[in-house]
Structure 1
Amino acid sequence: MNRVTSTQIRPEADRYPMVLEVTPRYSDLDPSRRVGREALVRWFEDARVTTEHRAFPERTFGNRPAGTGQLLASINVDVLAPLRIADDYRVGMAVNRVGGSSFSYGYGVFTGAELVATGESTSVWVEGGRPAPLPEEMRTALAGLVLPEAAPTARREFDASRLVRENYPFRYDVRTRFGDIDTNRHVNNVALAGWYLDGLAELHTDVLGYPLGGPLDGLSPSSLRVEYRDQVHYPGIYQLRVGVLELDDHEVRYACGLFDGHRCVGLADAAGAVRAVDADGRDVDLRAAFEPFRMRG
């Protein structure tokens, strides 16, 4: 499968205009004893918030004019190599696009000189609940963070069939938690990305026959792309739907949708391996098990 990802062209760590040091926490680990995908989303979010508080503090939460703000529209994560807890990391961040009302950041995660993960996020400036032109001071500050070689990923539009709940064969219900609410009193972006990862883990557990301890380590997605379409509220119960988009001898591409009733409030794509090694060292091939979960419509 040929996929355009945020991993394709990335500068060295010292080329990024903003670099944050990160020491992994035990809570960042997934069952494979590596830093998990949800933790990487959190690292990118921490880098973004820290950078914006330094670059344009008057437009960040707690300081910006009433009725204005930023909404995160999307985030991508691509894992290139396992991230170990014993290593220290640097998260490089740069602006790779500034539009009329939106802008994008590119991220690179390094241990030493090795690039182990990349990402990208897009934010939209809103006034009165609608996209609005970027304030001039924000535009000026963002221009100072641009790194020309950090080009944005080509945007892929989701097909209209992805907005139909019944087109996804696998269902996983999620109840919002109070601890997931952000400063805007909505479920936060990191938690929502984690929901998609939970949904994929639930699918893997299902096709493996619900083994104790969850799915095999090698099935975690190597890439995740999330599009936030609307706010997710507390309290509430949402349906997370999963289907298989493409399947070959090496990789499976997943489609995910988050629904409030029949209304789609979020979409995600992910990709991962179709084979993994079990606790006894045996190769487990899940191609046939994934076939019944192909997308409909």
Structure 2
Amino acid sequence: MNAPLTSDASPRLEDFPYRISDNVRFADLDPNQHVNNAVYATYFETGRVTLVKDRSHGLMPEGLSWMLVRLDMHFRSELRWPGTIEMGLGLVKFGRTSVTLDQVVFSEDKCVASAQAVTVLIEEATRKPTRLTSEIVRNFQPWRRRGVNVASPKF
């Protein structure tokens, strides 16, 4: 039996505090002349990576990195070329070593795809998961998805 779909029926871009814009590329299209479903994983990756790798946000201290362990995507509407997209991201859950992020792709004020991503904090030297630090948890606070109660992890 399939798990019930827990994503919003219609996400609102304003509920996602981290946003970034991009262009739909001709190379993103498949033979059906719409954006190929695999390309959405790249759009979602762009949102996550530009947030955490920006050292000014303090989400990736020296010697630590994030590894994607789960990505659940929901394709909502066709996306075609040419066009621009607005990607949104919001934190929805802290784990012991992980964070869960809701992500969206909007085009022309319409949500065309959404996803939930789970990323695990790892030590770069050992490639093993490591506990979230209080500093990382504090630095994620501005990126909490609006309208979602995000419980802080217990240290």
Task: State the TM-score, normalized to the length of structure 2.
Answer: 0.77
Q: Structure 1 vs Structure 2: percent identity of aligned residues?
A: 26
Matches within 5 A, 1:98-113: none
| In structure 2, distance between residues paired with 1:209 and 1:172 | 16
**Residue segments in structure 2 that go unaligned for 5+ positions in a row:** 148-155
Tell me what 1:188 maps to: 36
Kept in 1: contact 2:35–2:79 (CA 8 A): yes
Tell me what 2:107 maps to: 260
Work out the number of aligned pairs and report it: 138
| In structure 2, distance between residues paired with 1:216 and 1:268 | 28
2:123 corresponds to which of 277, 284, 287: 277
Deviation string 1:264-295 (CA, Å, 9 cap, x unpaired) is: 1111001112x33357x9x7832222121001
Tell me what 1:223 maps to: 70
TM-aligned CA deviation for residue 216 of structure 1:
7.4
Tell me what 1:203 maps to: 51
| Gap change, CA 1:188 and 1:217, over 3 Å in 2 | farther
Deviation string 1:107-142 (CA, Å, 9 cap, x unpaired) is: xxxxxxxxxxxxxxxxxxxxxxxxxxxxxxxxxxxx
Task: Give the structure, 1 or 2, with the largest relative contact order (CA under 8 Å, sep 6 or more).
Answer: 2
TM-aligned CA deviation for residue 229 of structure 1:
0.3
Q: CA RMSD in A?
A: 2.6
Q: Which structure 1 residue ranges, 4+ long, deviate > 6 Å from structure 2?
A: none
State the SS of the aligned residue for 2:68: coil
Instruction: State which structure, 1 or 2, has the greater radius of gyration over its C-alpha atoms.
Output: 1
TM-aligned CA deviation for residue 261 of structure 1:
3.1
Deviation string 1:239-281 (CA, Å, 9 cap, x unpaired) is: 01000011133221100011113211111001112x33357x9
| In structure 2, distance between residues paired with 1:229 and 1:216 | 38
1:289 corresponds to which of 139, 144, 147: 139
Tell me what 2:151 maps to: none
Task: State the TM-score, normalized to the length of structure 1.
Answer: 0.42
Kept in 1: contact 2:91–2:102 (CA 8 A): yes
